[in-house]
Amino acid sequence: MLIELHIENLAVIDGADLVFDAGLNVISGETGAGKTILAHAISLLLGTRADSGLIRPGAAEASVEAVFSLPEGFFADIAGEIDLPDEDVLAVRRRISRDGRSRAFIGGRSATLSLLGELTGRLLAFSAQHEQRRLMLASRQLEILDDFAGAGLADLLDEYRLAYDRHRELADQLADLSQDYEAQAREAELLRFQLSEIDNADLLKGEDLELEDERRRLLHAQELREATAELTAVLSGDEGGAGLTDTLSQMMARLENSAGVDDELDAIAGRLQKNYYELEEINRSARDYSESVQSDPLHLGEVEERLDLIGQLKRKYGVGQGVAGSGEKAAGNGSPGGIEEILNYSVRSAERLARLTGVSEGKPALEKELSQVSAELLGLAAKLSELRQEAASRLEEEAGRHLGELAFNDCGFEVRLSKAESPNRNGADNAEFLVRLNPGMPATPLRDTASGGELSRIMLAIKSAVLASRDTATLVFDEIDAGIGGETGAAVGARLRSLTSGSQIICITHLPQIACYADAHFRVVKRTAGGQTVTAVERLQGEGVVDELCRMMGSKPKDGKARAHAGDLLLRVQKISDTKNNRASIKNGTSTKAGSR
């Protein structure tokens, strides 16, 4: 269950704190007040894409945080995914920065967006406005059927997909091995030549960089020797003349005679001594370097020859070069790469050559394994079809019953399964939803039948059936009431209220017929403060609920007739609730009358 939702600096919301009820939570407000931002905030916790344009002007970042109460055994299901304390509540958070970066936190610890979305998705299901359009897609209808079928089908589908991916991999390998033999032989010969050329070069990583450094030293050997000779002459002195280090040594001796007389002079003497030793070390290093730099035209020629060979190999096999004959393209911008790219090319070419030369031995083994995996795939696809057929019958019954509760009289709902042209990652089935909305008419595909308002109710009926088949603690509806009103709206409100027997419901609505069923009613209000537009969210109580229902009816809060009508709506819902509570009490043997006896 979603206990709290905290929003900061998201679009026009500078700060909003919502504490939800366990039952039906309704969110209403004027068009453009910011209701959709609340829906977007929840979707961010499901890992959806975000950008810096969502951040409120003047703010450095936006954040959305939710606190959930957890079902028993929740942490057992996610063991190993993230290390969290085994508690009965969990806080998740999403932050969006001006630089476009987005960070996720689970239980106060940094996490990936995918893990945030997966974890939150286990606690909350979100039905957005675009969900109605997606309901028209055959692929989405198959997803809904699989979701309704439950964990058994989900596990089987995972197993099927592993087999399907292996089948495709084997088929691709076999197709590769079954190319024209002469073309393969020519390709193999070219690969052998290229591998031999690379192997004979005996390349080492970083070798080209070291050779470039050595080449520069050899080209400028005389210049480097002269420079270091001048340096040592200054430090050590020319023949018969004193150098800088000799002069400093004399000065150190002179200052040593005055040691202990004045602290400041002693400090200067210490610094002079330190620099003297440093210059002595520099002098020795310069002398050693001068002796190591030799002008060697023969060795320079060898270095340049080696660099020329490496350069040729780079142009042939560096960045941008795919394996010969394979049709692949290597990553890069096409410019010559380093030795590592050449060695990577060699590895890929060796793998390609191994596949080509293994045709005679590998093809029969691949064909045998492909046959085995094909049989396994067909068997799993058949099991999937069987489970889907059984689930389709149940979904027809459940969704049909819920449609009757949503003011569809004498309607029908069908799930038609057919075989796909060929197996795909979802199995070998196609699913299509059909509805019959009028007596005496045949069932027709959902995409050709339903209007906007009808589609809203159909989706709610299907969601009701799916929700009853799984353990989703919270379900969020973003304007499920699109295109409906009147008694139909009241039927939708009653259906939403009935869903709260097993789940928490959060519904963004513009219909008073739905809002009157709320256990908790929140109003989104847009105000202007300090020249800026600010959206606030407030929980309504008592007369505030009546005021909002009047507004939703298109009337002023002080309109007597509107207030009377709003009161009637609330009274009717209260009577329905009392009746259900009494029936439940009688069924459990705990009615007030029985208790008095």
pLDDT tens per residue across span 157-196: 999 999 999 999 999 888 877 766 667 778 889 999 999 9
β 24-29/504-508 pair status: parallel
Q: Which long-range contacts (CB under 8 A, 24 or more apart) does 210-219 make?
A: 211/303, 211/306, 211/307, 211/310, 212/307, 214/303, 215/300, 215/303, 215/304, 215/307, 217/293, 218/295, 218/296, 218/299, 218/300, 218/303, 219/300
pLDDT for residue 596 is more than 60: no
**Per-residue confidence (pLDDT) for residue 450, from 0 to 100:** 61
Quick one: 226 and 246 in the same domain?
yes
Tell me the helix, strand and coil percentages in the chain, rounded to 5. 55, 20, 25
Crossing angle (nearest 10°) for helices 151-177 and 359-405:
150
Strands in 412-424's sheet, in edge-to-edge order, are 412-424, 427-436, 444-445
**332-349: b (≥16 Cβ within 10 Å) or e:** eeeebbbbebbebbbebb
Residue 447 within a domain: no
Q: What share of the chain has pLDDT > 70, as a percent? A: 88
The token pair that represents 32 in the structure block: 């453009």
Domain that holds residue 572: 541-597
Quick one: 339 and 299 in the same domain?
yes
Backbone angle region of 65, left / alpha / beta, with phi > 0 → left and psi within -120 to 50 → alpha:
beta
Quick one: 563 and 484 in the same domain?
no
The token pair that represents 565 in the structure block: 């009508």
Quick one: 330 and 226 in the same domain?
yes
pLDDT for residue 238 is more than 70: no
Q: Which of 317-326, 328-337, 409-418 has the lowest mean pLDDT?
A: 328-337
pLDDT tens per residue across span 264-303: 888 888 898 898 888 888 888 888 887 777 777 888 888 8
Quick one: 101 and 116 in the same domain?
yes
At position 285, the amino acid (one-letter code) is S
Domain count, the chain: 3
Cα torsion 296, 298, 303, 308 to 10°: value is: 140
Strands in 2-10's sheet, in edge-to-edge order, are 13-19, 2-10, 61-69, 89-97, 102-106, 109-111
Crossing angle (nearest 10°) for helices 207-219 and 297-317:
140
Distances (CA, A) of 510 to 103, 461, 507, 522: 33, 19, 10, 12
**Per-residue confidence (pLDDT) for residue 330, from 0 to 100:** 46
Which of 523, 539, 555 is the endpoint of a domain?
Answer: 539
**Per-residue confidence (pLDDT) for residue 515, from 0 to 100:** 93
pLDDT for residue 451 is more than 90: no
The larger pLDDT score, comparing residue 548 to residue 529, is at: 548
**Per-residue confidence (pLDDT) for residue 593, from 0 to 100:** 39
3-state secondary structure 319-379: CCCCCCCCCCCCCCCCCCCCHHHHHHHHHHHHHHHHHHHCHHHHHHHHHHHHHHHHHHHHH
**Per-residue confidence (pLDDT) for residue 297, from 0 to 100:** 84
Q: What value does the mean pLDDT take over residues 311-325?
A: 74
Quick one: 211 and 263 in the same domain?
yes
In this structure, the number of other CB atoms found within 10 A of the CB of residue 400 comes to 18
| pLDDT band for position 81 (cuts 50, 70, 90) | low
pTM of the predicted model as reported, rounded to 2 decimal places: 0.61
**Per-residue confidence (pLDDT) for residue 295, from 0 to 100:** 78
β 412-424/427-436 pair status: antiparallel
User: What's the alpha-carbon Rg for the chain, to the nearest Å?
Assistant: 39
Residue 151 within a domain: no
3-state secondary structure 223-281: HHHHHHHHHHHHHHCCCCCCCHHHHHHHHHHHHHCCCCCCHHHHHHHHHHHHHHHHHHH
Which of 357, 375, 407 is the endpoint of a domain?
Answer: 357
Q: What mean pLDDT value characterizes the chain?
A: 84
**Per-residue confidence (pLDDT) for residue 129, from 0 to 100:** 64
pLDDT tens per residue across span 368-424: 999 999 999 999 999 999 999 999 999 999 988 888 888 787 788 999 999 999 999
Residue 74 within a domain: yes
429 near 417, Cβ under 8 Å?
Answer: yes
Highest mean pLDDT among 78-87, 274-283, 333-342: 274-283
**Per-residue confidence (pLDDT) for residue 319, from 0 to 100:** 62
pLDDT for residue 52 is more than 80: yes
Of residues 357, 444, 404, 414, the one with CA closest to residue 177: 357
**Per-residue confidence (pLDDT) for residue 182, from 0 to 100:** 67
Q: What value does the mean pLDDT take over residues 529-535?
A: 78
**Per-residue confidence (pLDDT) for residue 186, from 0 to 100:** 85
pLDDT tens per residue across span 468-506: 777 667 888 887 777 778 888 888 888 889 888 888 999
pLDDT for residue 440 is more than 90: no
**Per-residue confidence (pLDDT) for residue 79, from 0 to 100:** 53
The larger pLDDT score, comparing residue 432 to residue 239, is at: 432
Which of 516, 539, 562 is the endpoint of a domain?
Answer: 539
Quick one: 592 and 518 in the same domain?
no
**Per-residue confidence (pLDDT) for residue 200, from 0 to 100:** 93
Residue 397 within a domain: no
